[in-house]
Structure 1
Amino acid sequence: MQLDLNLLTALDALLEEGSVAGAADRLHVTAPAMSRSLGRIRKATGDQILVRTGRSMVPTTRALAMRAEVHALVQAAHRLLSAQQEIDLTSLERVFTVRWHDTLTAACGTALTAAVHRQAPGVRLRLAAEPGTDDPGLRRGEVDLESSSSQPALPDIRHRLVGRDRLIVAVRPGHPLTEGALSPERYAAAEHLTVSRRGNLHDPLDGALGALGLERRVVASGPTAAFALQLALGSDLVVTIPDVVTRAARDQLGLVTLPLPISLPDVSLYLLWHQRYDDDRAHTWLRDLATETIRALFAPPGRRDEGGDAGGVPA
């Protein structure tokens, strides 16, 4: 029997997604086409691969045993073929999905879009909003580049440190906290607004205040920094946010910024991507361009960059 190596890609997607529809979406083919591929895989392996249980499908014992090896073979083939390809940005046609925190998109989205269009006119960007819950978009191939304030826990997610920010306090002009020195006690006694896409009313600030015997009163939570800044502008609410990536938005609104009166570590900023793109030259170009765009916020041109690529180890 002649083996169609394309079936390995289909098998990899089926084992990752656990459904015909999910694998079809991932590989941008129709569900009937993926169903036919599954039939051919079953015939080639002599195994059902996926079996229906109620409304879902589960992998067979043999499918579970071969899952890691199939994935490794597909990635090795991808690296082998990609190594022979030279990238021509002027003729490159591709869609990249970039999912960053809203503050980073607001600070760098325009510059990144302009740079991408200037260098590769055929490339299109999807600047996607972060979901309210943890999402496996990187692993599923739905997201090409993501931002995070922490290193990934999964070994197949790569990371690169692109900057370190510090937290500052933003209030409306004429806010009572702008008069006199800002002590931890005065800061804690104010009414606060958190920024959380999950709607959390607490964050690491509360732990730092608790260590000083202080407790702040959080009266609201906003899903984005832009929303929080607008709310702070029209009220006495205090919002504590990263300095560099929100500077343009704060200046545009005319908000007053104050130094945070308690000691906290800097906020790290990482770019994340799946290891499947390690040797993808187009993806390498995108993440290098994104890195350059972001680091321009933090350091003047010519300053030596810090950090580097990593896979499950500190950058």
Structure 2
Amino acid sequence: MNDPANPPGSSGPPPGLDANLAVALHALLAEQSVTRAAARLHTSPAAMSRTLARLRRVLQDPLLVRAGQSMVPTPRAQALREEAAAVVRSLGALLTPGTGVDPATLRTTFTVQAADLIGAALSPGLLELARREAPGVSLRFRAEDLEGGPALRDGRIDLEAGAIGHVDPETKVEELVTLRMAAAVRPGHPLAEKPLTPARLAAAEHVVVSRRGRFTGPLDAALAEQGLRRRVAVVLPSHLAALALSAGSDVVCLIPTALPGAAPSPLT
């Protein structure tokens, strides 16, 4: 007889299908007893008896019938025994927490978004870690062109390193290190001859690092609080380019100090 809730030719389970019924069916057919099935599933015999009645209506078969002091399965129930057990095993596997991923088995590429100076500092350690624990993994570093957007959520990048001011609800953030910014100048620069003061710093020419071409940053706000304003001679999109310019001229470049893994700088 056709199931009116799931007519021939339809796909998918019938509406309102309760996976608990499969678990109860497996217990009833395995124990062949309402009382023992109830104990197995930590419920009451009365509740299990109601579940058996529901299963009989759904499957249109008695499933278990009384034979003296015990209950025996019907031919339909016997035919369903292995299938019910397989369904319960599948449900158990589906709802069991994962055992994690073995990095050594990975064959993929991870994309990391970071400023060039941070990328240069992180890449040697990450490469060594990948060689040691995940030799099938490749790393792709890209500039901060997707900063402030949904790149992590969309899967265009896997990791973002930097000052994270935009966090989606599903994004996990972990603090790696707290950095301070320092004014870097070439050896022999006039600023290095005397103690540095806000006024002397503001009087010097500066190079600003901004991928968006901005002339101002946090330093300008700090100087403005003291009534000072610096002169920005040039804006460059990367720290490495700014460091190279400062190494061969008198412009001051702000760089993060004590960046783990960073190469020695020719500046002071």
- The answer as to whether partners of 1:152 and 1:158 remain within 8 angstroms in 2 is no
The answer on 1:233 being equivalent to 2:242 is no
Deviation, structure 1 residue 206 = 0.5
* Corresponding residue of 2:126: 112
SS at match of 2:132: helix
Structure 2: distance between partners of 1:132 and 1:144: 12
* Corresponding residue of 1:97: 111
**Correspondences of 1:9-48 after superposition (within 5 Å):** none
Kindly provide the CA deviation profile for residues 131-163 of structure 1, in whole angstroms up to 9, marking residues without a partner as x: 176432111111110013134243232211111
Structure 1: distance between partners of 2:120 and 2:95: 37
Structure 1 unaligned runs (5+)? 5-79, 257-315
Find 2:267's aligned residue among 242, 245, 255: 255
Amino acid at match of 2:213: G
The total of aligned residue pairs comes to 179
- The answer as to whether partners of 2:125 and 2:261 remain within 8 angstroms in 1 is no
Structure 2: distance between partners of 1:128 and 1:82: 37
Structure 2: distance between partners of 1:88 and 1:124: 16
* Corresponding residue of 1:220: 234
* Corresponding residue of 1:87: 101
Structure 2: distance between partners of 1:147 and 1:102: 11
Deviation, structure 1 residue 196 = 1.1
Q: CA distance change for structure 1 residues 120 and 174 in 2, over 3 Å: closer, same or farther?
A: same
Structure 1: distance between partners of 2:172 and 2:195: 43
* Corresponding residue of 1:127: 141
- The answer as to whether partners of 2:186 and 2:246 remain within 8 angstroms in 1 is yes
- The answer as to whether partners of 2:202 and 2:228 remain within 8 angstroms in 1 is yes
Q: CA distance change for structure 1 residues 151 and 240 in 2, over 3 Å: closer, same or farther?
A: same
SS at match of 2:255: strand
- The answer as to whether partners of 1:170 and 1:240 remain within 8 angstroms in 2 is yes
Q: CA distance change for structure 1 residues 169 and 207 in 2, over 3 Å: closer, same or farther?
A: same
When normalised by structure 2's length, the TM-score is: 0.61
Over the matched positions of the two proteins, sequence identity in percent amounts to 41
Structure 2: distance between partners of 1:104 and 1:172: 21
**Correspondences of 1:1-315 after superposition (within 5 Å):** 1-3=10-12, 83-131=97-145, 134-245=148-259, 248-249=262-263, 251-252=264-265, 254-256=266-268
Structure with greater contact order relative to length (CA < 8 Å, sep ≥ 6)? 1
Q: CA distance change for structure 1 residues 82 and 203 in 2, over 3 Å: closer, same or farther?
A: farther
Deviation, structure 1 residue 92 = 2.0
Query: Is the strand fraction higher in 1 or 2?
Result: 1
- The answer as to whether partners of 1:192 and 1:220 remain within 8 angstroms in 2 is yes
Kindly provide the CA deviation profile for residues 243-268 of structure 1, in whole angstroms up to 9, marking residues without a partner as x: 1228844x34x211xxxxxxxxxxxx
Structure 2 unaligned runs (5+)? 1-9, 14-93
Q: CA distance change for structure 1 residues 135 and 81 in 2, over 3 Å: closer, same or farther?
A: farther
Structure 2: distance between partners of 1:161 and 1:234: 34
Look at both structures and tell me which one has the larger radius of gyration over its CA atoms. 2
Deviation, structure 1 residue 85 = 4.1
- The answer as to whether partners of 1:96 and 1:144 remain within 8 angstroms in 2 is yes
- The answer as to whether partners of 1:152 and 1:159 remain within 8 angstroms in 2 is no
Amino acid at match of 1:255: L
Deviation, structure 1 residue 88 = 2.3
Structure 1: distance between partners of 2:224 and 2:205: 16
SS at match of 1:212: coil
SS at match of 2:195: coil
- The answer as to whether partners of 1:194 and 1:239 remain within 8 angstroms in 2 is yes
